[in-house]
Amino acid sequence: MIWLSLKTLRHRKAAFAGAFAALLCAAALVCACLMLLETGLRGTVSPERYAGTPVLVAGDQNVRVTIDKGDKTKVKAKPLAERVWIPAELAAGLRKAPGVERVVTEVTFPVAGGFVGHGWESAALTPFTIAAGRAPSAAGEVVVDAASGLGVGSELAGHRVVGVTAQALPSRRTVFFSTDEARTLARPGMLTAIGVFPAGVDVAKAVAGKALVYTGDERGAIEFLGAENARVKLISLGGALTGTSLLVAILVVVGTFALSIQQRQRELALMRAVAATPGQVRKLLGGEALMVSLAAGLPGAGLGIGLGFWLRSKFVELGAMPANLELVLSPFPAVAAVLATMLAAWAAARVSAHRTARIRPVEALGEAAIERGGLPWARLGAGVACAGGGVALTIVLSTLQVEAASSPVTMLTALLWCVAVTLLGPPLARLAVAVLSVPLRASRVGGHLATRNLRASSRRMSSVISPVSLMVAMTCTILFVQTTMGHAAEQEAAAGTRAALVVTGAPAAAVREVPGVSAVTEVLRTSVRIGLDKYGTQGLNPDPRTVDLDVTTGSLKGFGPGSVALSRVAAARLEAKVGDKIAITLGDGTPVSVTVAAIYARGLGFAELTLAHDLVVKHVDNPMGTLLVAGDAAVVTETLKTALPQATVLPSAEAWEKAGAQNAEINYVAMGLIIAFTAIAVVNTLAMSTADRSRELALLRLVGTTRRQVMGMLRMETLSSVLVAVVSGSLIALVTLAAFGAGMTGSAIPHVPPLTYAAVVAAVTALALLATVLPARLALRERPAEALGARE
């Protein structure tokens, strides 16, 4: 059948343009998402700081839990949020290990001004060498790197610069203290890493159980822990995006194919009558789909590579991905994207062709001219099944209280509802037309014709409705999931913050001294693991003057390093109550056992877990937290400005808004692509559907309908379709968001900014009108008699 597919493609280029465009975008989107996913799975960061040491001994950055599966056990590992330190005694053991020539120990700690501090003992790990001045030998002396812009004799964080190195790291500024002072500034008796020389020496046995050995690019993963976390995030983000875009692609492509097959029903019916078996018609359509998708998939994948680079640069800009985590380039995403596109197209063609191919040729010859009324049982059944699935997923979603689980299910729920609406489109369209015909009658010509047309071809109307409602549903879900979450968190944070100001970049002790300040609470953000599950955690010493977590049971009195407070959601997840003992793995891998002191309501605005600041501060990389400052806002802002000019001071309400914005932006960028894709599908479908009607429009012109009346009719048809689509799309989004809200925020009422919603509806309407009016203009430009005379 390939020859026939090829012939048809060549002859009906225009008819396949829509499918081609949809498939091209699908391939580009899938390819870009897969690039992110692959980078997440296989991406590496080359070491900078540790480039000069062949073998690196450092802590195990994973929490490992052995899971007993009856006959066999499996060790599962999850990454930790903070750097894991190793005991200093390990160095002594390593020095004695066979084959070891040299051991270099290192400590790492943050220094004001964005510098990373080390002791001079570890300069050899890069290696750093002195270009000017000398090495630091006493407390109060530092050596800065070549890119710092400081010279010998200048001052940094209360230390005198005695030397400048010849080197600098591309990703960060380094400062070296004297070895002894560095040890006191870091954690006593602990190291961040040990460099071992020469290359190839096997020290695994010497450190067994206490640390791990890293070589090659593994050293980069230890150096840039942030890159590791970003990598893990990319896996889930890339996976979710790939899945969503594939599903959306299939939905869009099915729509496009269905329309193009509907348009050539007569030709297919003729083939069936003359000589083609149902299987041959299916093969013909499948072959066309494969060829179009191959032709679209190849350039699409090429575009996708560009899109992948653009996405990466956007993510880097937004801080979701470190600049030194390079995209992994391999043929896999492009090949997979082309194959996925071909598969989607083939499946779409098969679905659309199913009915055409099975139909008896006589029915087909008859049906080609007028639409058949009934909906096939299979489609009806599938539609009802999808709606049932939608109900089930909605119920599941309303019980999900963790974002990691909730986000993908939210998208899936919205998509499943969209599929149900697509499948049940024709009866929905008929129902809508019955309702809409009443107001449409107000317009005698355009409105009358529009209702007649809509009523006569509910299938065409439904093929327009489904992409538009998909676009509305996806856009609203994506946008308003963020606003709902953000709004709920903001509300809780605002309600729970007693402090007037949020200060960063200043030590707590200094702020306490500032006149007008009545209380200061230091807040550290980290994450801990209980078992393998991650919990967002704040470290703070509760003070009713600055923070009110809204404790529901228990009390925060006497809250100390041995206590933990749980949000209601976390308590439910852990099935814990006040007085229970919980084993927690802190961010740096340190296990602690703490007692539940209280359960609080404002988990969304603050954190799932609250630990004492005194406990957390010893186990985070950056002990400089955010300060909640109580006191008269206006007065304190002024006094702080004069006393601590380097500090950033924000009224607390503003500070919360900013915190939520970054995460939302990343989602907007990624999901924005899917929205853009659905927008292209909308334009595509409408333009196809209008262009196909040029004969009908010409006929209307010939019998005396004015151009204005024809355009009026088309506008009204489009607006009716858009109205139905906006209603169904909004309902889908509303149901999904309500379920999402019920689970995540405890309230089924989503936060929908009216202006944003109005903008979405306006954009969709404008897009749909444009996609109708432009092709119609083109069609009407032709002289009606000629358009009618043109053979099919």
Partner 1 sequence: MTDVVRLEAVSKVYGKGQGAVAALREVSVAIPSGSFTAVMGPSGSGKSTFLHCAAGLDVPSSGSVRLGGTELSGLSENRLTELRRQRIGFVFQSFNLVGSLTVLENITLPLRLAGAKADRGWLEEVVRRVGLEGRTGHRPAQLSGGQQQRVAIARALVTRPEVVFGDEPTGALDTMTARDVLRLLREVVEGMGQTVVMVTHDPVAASYADTVLFLADGRIVDSMTAPTSDKVAERMTRLGAWTR
State how far the alpha carbon of 474 is from the alpha carbons of 179, 399, 417, 425, 733, in Å: 57, 21, 11, 17, 7
State how far the alpha carbon of 377 is from the alpha carbons of 356, 364, 380, 466, in Å: 15, 18, 5, 19
Alpha carbons 700 and 569: distance in angstroms, whole number: 63
CA dihedral 164, 169, 171, 173 (to 10 degrees): -20
* Nearer to partner 1 among residue 11 and residue 618 (C-beta): 11
Find the binder of partner 1 among 276, 289, 423, 564 (CB under 8 A).
276
* Nearer to partner 1 among residue 275 and residue 442 (C-beta): 275
* Nearer to partner 1 among residue 257 and residue 740 (C-beta): 257
* Nearer to partner 1 among residue 171 and residue 280 (C-beta): 280
Cis link prior to 127 (omega < 30° from 0)? yes
Alpha carbons 285 and 347: distance in angstroms, whole number: 10
* Nearer to partner 1 among residue 278 and residue 507 (C-beta): 278
x/- track of binding to partner 1 for residues 638-657 (CB under 8 A): --------------------
Find the binder of partner 1 among 54, 278, 408, 623 (CB under 8 A).
278
Find the binder of partner 1 among 75, 275, 370, 509 (CB under 8 A).
275
Nearest distance from C-beta of residue 790 to partner 1, angstroms: 8
Nearest distance from C-beta of residue 10 to partner 1, angstroms: 7
Q: Is 277 in the site for partner 1 (CB under 8 A)?
A: yes
* Nearer to partner 1 among residue 6 and residue 204 (C-beta): 6
x/- track of binding to partner 1 for residues 339-378 (CB under 8 A): -------------------x-xxx--x--x----------
Find the binder of partner 1 among 198, 279, 753, 789 (CB under 8 A).
279
* Nearer to partner 1 among residue 95 and residue 695 (C-beta): 695
State how far the alpha carbon of 543 is from the alpha carbons of 498, 514, 546, 601, in Å: 9, 18, 6, 16
Pairing of strands 72-79, 62-69: antiparallel
Nearest distance from C-beta of residue 14 to partner 1, angstroms: 12
Alpha carbons 466 and 20: distance in angstroms, whole number: 19
Alpha carbons 145 and 165: distance in angstroms, whole number: 5
* Nearer to partner 1 among residue 378 and residue 583 (C-beta): 378
Alpha carbons 15 and 1: distance in angstroms, whole number: 19
Write out the binding residues for partner 1, residues 590-609 only, by CB under 8 A.
Answer: none
Find the binder of partner 1 among 72, 444, 781, 791 (CB under 8 A).
791
Find the binder of partner 1 among 44, 167, 229, 280 (CB under 8 A).
280
CB atoms near residue 618 (< 10 Å): 13
Nearest distance from C-beta of residue 371 to partner 1, angstroms: 17
Q: Comparing C-alpha atoms, which of 729, 715, 735 is closest to residue 760?
A: 729
Write out the binding residues for partner 1, residues 283-322 only, by CB under 8 A.
Answer: none
Q: Is 792 in the site for partner 1 (CB under 8 A)?
A: yes
Q: Comparing C-alpha atoms, which of 310, 410, 487, 257 is closest to residue 737?
A: 410
Alpha carbons 485 and 758: distance in angstroms, whole number: 20
Nearest distance from C-beta of residue 16 to partner 1, angstroms: 11
Contact between residue 570 and residue 535 where contact means Cβ atoms under 8 Å apart? yes
Largest interatomic CA distance in the chain: 101
Backbone angles phi, psi at 14, to 5 degrees: -60, -40
* Nearer to partner 1 among residue 1 and residue 318 (C-beta): 1
Find the binder of partner 1 among 67, 166, 273, 384 (CB under 8 A).
273
Nearest distance from C-beta of residue 13 to partner 1, angstroms: 10
Bridge partners (DSSP) listed for residue 132:
164
Residue 412 buriedness (CB in 10 A; 0-12 / 13-18 / 19+): buried
* Nearer to partner 1 among residue 229 and residue 280 (C-beta): 280
x/- track of binding to partner 1 for residues 252-271 (CB under 8 A): --------------xx--xx
Find the binder of partner 1 among 7, 102, 577, 783 (CB under 8 A).
7
Alpha carbons 160 and 761: distance in angstroms, whole number: 62
Nearest distance from C-beta of residue 355 to partner 1, angstroms: 14
Q: Is 614 in the site for partner 1 (CB under 8 A)?
A: no
State how far the alpha carbon of 498 is from the alpha carbons of 521, 546, 630, in Å: 11, 4, 7
Pairing of strands 609-611, 533-539: parallel
Write out the binding residues for partner 1, residues 166-205 only, by CB under 8 A.
Answer: none
Total residues contacting partner 1 (rule CB under 8 A)?
Answer: 28
Contact between residue 300 and residue 337 where contact means Cβ atoms under 8 Å apart? yes
Nearest distance from C-beta of residue 270 to partner 1, angstroms: 6
* Nearer to partner 1 among residue 7 and residue 783 (C-beta): 7
Q: Comparing C-alpha atoms, which of 525, 550, 555, 702 is closest to residue 619?
A: 525
Nearest distance from C-beta of residue 287 to partner 1, angstroms: 13
* Nearer to partner 1 among residue 280 and residue 443 (C-beta): 280
Tokens 């599941």 map to which residue? 396
Nearest distance from C-beta of residue 660 to partner 1, angstroms: 56
Nearest distance from C-beta of residue 478 to partner 1, angstroms: 41
Backbone angles phi, psi at 76, to 5 degrees: -105, 140
From 28-36, 273-281, 437-445, 488-496, span contacting partner 1 (CB under 8 A): 273-281
State how far the alpha carbon of 506 is from the alpha carbons of 142, 186, 620, 644, in Å: 22, 19, 17, 7
Nearest distance from C-beta of residue 299 to partner 1, angstroms: 24
Nearest distance from C-beta of residue 252 to partner 1, angstroms: 25
Contact between residue 177 and residue 118 where contact means Cβ atoms under 8 Å apart? yes
Write out the binding residues for partner 1, residues 10-49 only, by CB under 8 A.
Answer: 10-12
Nearest distance from C-beta of residue 312 to partner 1, angstroms: 43
* Nearer to partner 1 among residue 266 and residue 715 (C-beta): 266
Nearest distance from C-beta of residue 691 to partner 1, angstroms: 16
* Nearer to partner 1 among residue 357 and residue 726 (C-beta): 357
Interior/surface letters 718-743, b for 16+ CB within 10 angstroms, e for the rest:
bbbbbbbbbebbbbbbbbbbbbbbbb
Contact between residue 564 and residue 597 where contact means Cβ atoms under 8 Å apart? yes
x/- track of binding to partner 1 for residues 200-239 (CB under 8 A): ----------------------------------------
Alpha carbons 637 and 721: distance in angstroms, whole number: 55
Helix (H, G, I), strand (E, B) or coil at 161: strand
* Nearer to partner 1 among residue 265 and residue 705 (C-beta): 265
Find the binder of partner 1 among 49, 173, 231, 272 (CB under 8 A).
272
* Nearer to partner 1 among residue 580 and residue 696 (C-beta): 696
Alpha carbons 766 and 761: distance in angstroms, whole number: 9
Pairing of strands 159-165, 86-87: unpaired
* Nearer to partner 1 among residue 360 and residue 641 (C-beta): 360
Nearest distance from C-beta of residue 19 to partner 1, angstroms: 16
Write out the binding residues for partner 1, residues 378-437 only, by CB under 8 A.
Answer: none
* Nearer to partner 1 among residue 694 and residue 772 (C-beta): 694
Nearest distance from C-beta of residue 353 to partner 1, angstroms: 15
Chain positions contacting partner 1, by CB under 8 A: 3-4, 7-8, 10-12, 266-267, 270-280, 358, 360-362, 365, 368, 791-792
